[in-house]
């Protein structure tokens, strides 16, 4: 399988998987797309999903990557990456939630990051000294650090802003050791991102150092996110034979929902997709007005979805042939304020005894508003957003004791108990380059 750029009108598939994965973005600034969309045998998907998530993922991954890596190594990598659960939880008859937060960092990013870490290890084959540079405002860094931990031949540098990630997120990034090198930058998230970009743009430095990013738009993070849609579909259609589900996705950068759209184009029957936004509602607005107006993001309580110019918009449009009418026929959109999200967290608990993280709560609201029949996605464990949950109950149901209902998972508690090890750094590209250089000596 080769890859083309979303900005190439001729769709010339000029890039190998290794090039697409190591570059992240195409040279013209577009996103990489597979040259064709392989068709999945849905009966096979159903029977493999009944065996395990990993068995199903091995089959689906082979459709894309079978020519790039030997089958036995792909299989071993996937079995190791996907050793956690991905249940479809029923809140009530007709209302299911796909829980994507049972991985090591308790967020859906584990599905993409662990796969990408394993694949880079296979593609790189330990023969080259590759440094993965990533800037994070919290969640991506922890997922990438966990997903790339101990991958041979790969060093990871995670840049995060001093005092601006939660103590829990900092613990997740700074307690792994080994090939994971956390860097605490005296600056904000934008500074971290600018530092990473500056290193990528330093042609002389890159000539001597093999650096890449683990950005969420990377094909190796995007494609494996389509697999959990198949897994949920297989579980849901067992309970609803002969029907196709509506799928509701809390969305920010639109990587997740676009992966679902990829699954549907691979042959997975879906009735409709619904994107659920916080106040950063550019896509729901686009769906109702036909005019796409990206803009700076605003801060919300579902902060991982605070994106005003979603990177994967381009990929989504490309999947639908850049045709607004075709997109609109398969996608609906809804947006919610912070107060609505917090009220929903309390409401879901009151109705179902279920504690929801703020992002999943946005999905829940859109599920109800769209009168969906299918499932919505829960993208993170509620314990990662304790502050928001506390606020939500204080405002909407003060009689509930959050300490009693919000258990911290063992893995998170363990990371918090360990000593944090990181390098402090100024917002200075020379310091960062020296640091990256020192890792290869
Ligand atoms: C917890 C959580 N929910 C939802 C999203 C939105 O996913 P996407 O950016 O792929 O639309 C993110 C993205 O970072 C997230 O971390």
Are 185 and 285 found together in one domain? Answer: no
Q: Please tell me the distance between residue 139's alpha carbon and the centre of ligand 1 in angstroms.
A: 9
Q: How confident is the model at residue 194 (pLDDT cuts 50, 70, 90)?
A: confident
- 305 in ligand 1 pocket by Cβ < 6 Å? yes
pLDDT digits (tens, 9 = 90+) for 253-279: 999 999 999 999 999 999 999 999 999
What is the rounded average pLDDT for all residues in the chain?
94
The number of the ligand 1 atom at minimal distance from the alpha carbon of 252 is 11
Give the burial class of 303: count Cβ atoms within 10 A of its Cβ; 0-12 exposed, 13-18 middle, 19 or more buried: middle
The number of the ligand 1 atom at minimal distance from the alpha carbon of 359 is 3
Whichever domain contains 281, its CATH number is 3.40.50.1100
Are 158 and 209 found together in one domain? Answer: yes
Q: Are 385 and 264 within 8 A, CB to CB?
A: no
Alpha helices in 219-298 (DSSP H): 219-225, 227-239, 255-265, 282-289
The number of the ligand 1 atom at minimal distance from the alpha carbon of 259 is 10
- 359 in ligand 1 pocket by Cβ < 6 Å? yes
Are 277 and 362 found together in one domain? Answer: yes
Domain holding 401, by residue range, is 226-407
Find the radius of gyration of the CA atoms of the chain. Answer: 21
pLDDT at 169 over 90: no
What global pTM score does this model have? 0.94
pLDDT digits (tens, 9 = 90+) for 406-426: 988 888 888 888 999 999 999
**pLDDT score for 30:** 92
Whether residue 70 is contained in a domain is answered as no
Q: Please tell me the distance between residue 311's alpha carbon and the centre of ligand 1 in angstroms.
A: 12
Whether residue 309 is contained in a domain is answered as yes
For 81-138, what is the HEC assignment? Answer: HCCCCCCEEEEECCEEEEECCCCCCCECHHHHHHHHHHHHHHHHCCCCCEEEEEECCC
Three-state SS at 384: helix
The number of the ligand 1 atom at minimal distance from the alpha carbon of 384 is 1
Task: Report the alpha-carbon distance of residue 14 to residue 352 in Å, rounded.
Answer: 51
Q: Please tell me the distance between residue 297's alpha carbon and the centre of ligand 1 in angstroms.
A: 14
Give rounded-to-5 percent helix, strand, coil for the chain.
50, 15, 35
Are 397 and 417 found together in one domain? Answer: no
Whether residue 363 is contained in a domain is answered as yes
Q: Which protein residue's CA is at the shortest distance from atom 12 of ligand 1? A: 304
Q: Please tell me the distance between residue 379's alpha carbon and the centre of ligand 1 in angstroms.
A: 7
Task: Report the alpha-carbon distance of residue 283 to residue 324 in Å, rounded.
Answer: 12
Average pLDDT over residues 21-30: 88
- Determine how many CB atoms are found less than 10 A away from the CB of residue 242: 5
- Determine how many CB atoms are found less than 10 A away from the CB of residue 343: 18
Whether residue 378 is contained in a domain is answered as yes
Whether residue 168 is contained in a domain is answered as yes
The DSSP result for 391-403, as a single string, is HHHHHH-TTS-HH
Are 330 and 340 found together in one domain? Answer: yes
- 251 in ligand 1 pocket by Cβ < 6 Å? yes
Task: Report the alpha-carbon distance of residue 180 to residue 433 in Å, rounded.
Answer: 16
- 379 in ligand 1 pocket by Cβ < 6 Å? yes
Whether residue 89 is contained in a domain is answered as no
Task: Report the alpha-carbon distance of residue 360 to residue 253 in Å, rounded.
Answer: 15
Q: Please tell me the distance between residue 250's alpha carbon and the centre of ligand 1 in angstroms.
A: 7
Task: Report the alpha-carbon distance of residue 105 to residue 141 in Å, rounded.
Answer: 10
Which residue among 134, 251, 259, 307 is best mutated to probe the pocket of ligand 1, counting the most ligand atoms within 8 A of its Cβ? 251
Q: Across-strand partners of 131?
A: 155, 211
Whether residue 76 is contained in a domain is answered as no
pLDDT digits (tens, 9 = 90+) for 314-339: 999 999 999 999 999 999 999 999 99
The number of the ligand 1 atom at minimal distance from the alpha carbon of 250 is 4
Number of structural domains, the chain?
A: 2
- 380 in ligand 1 pocket by Cβ < 6 Å? yes
């Amino acid at each position: 399988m080769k890859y083309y750029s979303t900005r190439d009108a001729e769709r010339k598939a000029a890039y190998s998987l290794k090039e697409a994965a190591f570059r992240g973005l195409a040279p013209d600034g577009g996103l990489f797309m597979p040259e064709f969309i392989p068709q999945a045998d849905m009966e096979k998907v159903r029977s493999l999903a009944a065996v395990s998530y990993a068995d199903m993922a091995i089959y689906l991954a082979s459709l894309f990557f079978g020519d790039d890596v030997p089958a036995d190594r792909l299989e071993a990598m996937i079995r190791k990456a996907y050793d956690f659960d991905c249940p479809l939880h029923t809140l009530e008859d007709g209302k299911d939630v796909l829980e994507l937060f049972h991985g090591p960092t308790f967020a859906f990013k584990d599905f993409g990051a662990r796969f990408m870490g394993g694949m880079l290890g296979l593609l790189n084959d330990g023969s080259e000294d590759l440094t993965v540079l990533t800037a994070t405002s919290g969640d991506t860094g922890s997922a990438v650090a966990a997903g790339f931990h101990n991958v041979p031949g790969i060093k990871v540098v995670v840049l995060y802003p001093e005092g601006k990630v939660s103590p829990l997120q900092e613990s997740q990034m700074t307690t792994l050791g080994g090939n994971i090198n956390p860097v605490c930058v005296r600056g904000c998230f934008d500074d971290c991102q600018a530092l990473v970009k500056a290193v990528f743009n330093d042609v002389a430095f890159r000539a001597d150092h093999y650096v890449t990013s683990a950005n969420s738009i990377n094909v190796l993070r995007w494609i494996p996110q389509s697999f959990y849609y198949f897994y949920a579909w297989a579980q849901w259609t067992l309970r609803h034979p002969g029907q196709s589900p509506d799928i509701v996705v809390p969305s920010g950068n639109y990587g997740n929902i676009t992966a679902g759209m990829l699954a549907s184009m691979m042959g997975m029957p879906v009735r409709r997709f619904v994107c659920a936004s916080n106040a950063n509602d550019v896509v729901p607005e686009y769906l109702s007005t036909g005019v796409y107006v990206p803009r700076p993001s605003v801060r919300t309580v579902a902060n991982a979805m605070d994106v005003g110019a979603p990177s994967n918009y381009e990929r989504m449009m490309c999947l639908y042939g850049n045709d607004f009418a075709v997109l609109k026929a398969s996608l609906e959109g809804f947006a919610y304020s912070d107060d609505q999200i917090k009220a929903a967290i309390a409401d879901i608990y009151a109705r179902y005894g279920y504690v929801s993280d703020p992002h999943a709560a946005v999905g829940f609201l859109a599920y109800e508003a769209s009168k969906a029949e299918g499932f919505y996605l829960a993208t993170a464990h509620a314990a990662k957003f304790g502050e928001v949950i506390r606020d939500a109950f204080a405002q909407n149901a003060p009689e509930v004791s959050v300490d009693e209902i919000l258990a911290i998972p063992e893995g998170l508690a363990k990371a918090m108990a360990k000593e944090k090890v990181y390098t402090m750094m100024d917002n200075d590209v020379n310091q960062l380059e020296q640091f990256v250089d020192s890792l290869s000596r």
